[in-house]
Amino acid sequence: MIDFRSLEMFQAVVETGSATLAAQKVGVTQPAITKSIANLEAQTGLTLFERGRFGMRPTLEGSIFLSTVRRNLIGLDEIKTQIEAIKRGARGLVRISTLPAYGEETIPKIVSKVLGPHPDVKIALNIDNYEGIVRAVSLGHAEVGVLIGPVVCPPELEPIILGQQPLVAVVPDGHPLSVAEQLTVADLATARLILVSSPHPLRALFDQMFLRAGLTPDVRLEARTQRAAASLAISSPAGIALVERHVARNAVPGSSARIVPLADFPVLDIIALVGRGDRRAALLDLVLSALQTGFAPSIEDTEPQR
């Protein structure tokens, strides 16, 4: 069987005109070159070289065969190049399934930094609910799922903490609570609220917080997404929206609304779900690293809200 290595040696002999020089070029011994050429001539039934004091010169048959070899070596070289690119994580497709809060702005900004230096990397981003994200990764329809913790993780999936997000209130300009440095559950019980609707995991958390405090929230509006809730608080005097801080920061710029920290609400873990395995592809590690960097606290996260 003719293999890539024997064709590579044949081309080296043509280019150098010498078995000795060809051996140096491809990193083998001179006898290995001589044996390879003899085997190639036996396999093809062609006389590929004239041998003499001038060295080794391709025959007419050898020259015709060379054109075919070069075309095929270009293809094989391309295959080798692509294999190396895949190993480095510089080529391929990663499918990400995530919640609207992350898929609408945060993750697109993060992955754009991956795509810039890696033009052969492709990202497919799908927006889904909590159950749909877990199902997509479990069934292999997505390589990464990004959602809010805590996560009920199936045994075939591995949770990876990307970062943390506190909850905040988006308070309309002029609202009595807009001057507060922070808000408690008791403070919020006196205000009209805009919350995400069930079965969003944040809605379950909010309901639980008020229930534990023995208070009944005045929920005037419900929205399917956190961004919609924040937008309602900004565009109308309907009430105060409770959302993750990064959602509020994406929604508030350009408005007079204020972001106010919540004092006694838990900080949320941002979780990536991936399939368990002995070895992750380099491209998947590249994307996970970018997500961890993107969700990491910034300097402004350590400063008080104004």
pLDDT tens per residue, range 138-158: 998 999 999 988 888 889 999
Is domain 91-165+268-300 annotated with CATH 3.20.170.30? Answer: no
pLDDT of residue 117: 77
User: What would the pLDDT profile of 75-91 be if each residue is shown by its tens digit?
Assistant: 666 656 555 655 555 56
Q: Which residue has the tokens 């877990």?
A: 134
Alpha-carbon gap, residue 12 to 23, rounded angstroms: 8
> What is the pTM (predicted TM-score) of this model?
0.65
Lookup: tokens for 59 = 């025959």
CATH number of 4-88: 1.10.10.10
What residue spans define the domains of the chain?
A: 4-88, 91-165+268-300, 167-261
273 touches 134 (CB < 8 A)? yes
CATH class for the region spanning 167-261 = alpha beta
Alpha-carbon gap, residue 20 to 28, rounded angstroms: 9
Low-confidence stretches of the chain (pLDDT beneath 70): 75-91, 278-280, 297-306
pLDDT of residue 76: 67
Residues 6+ apart with CB under 8 A from 138: 154, 156, 157
pLDDT of residue 250: 85
Give, to the nearest 10 degrees, the angle between helix 282-295 and helix 60-88: 30
Residues 6+ apart with CB under 8 A from 103: 96, 125, 126, 127
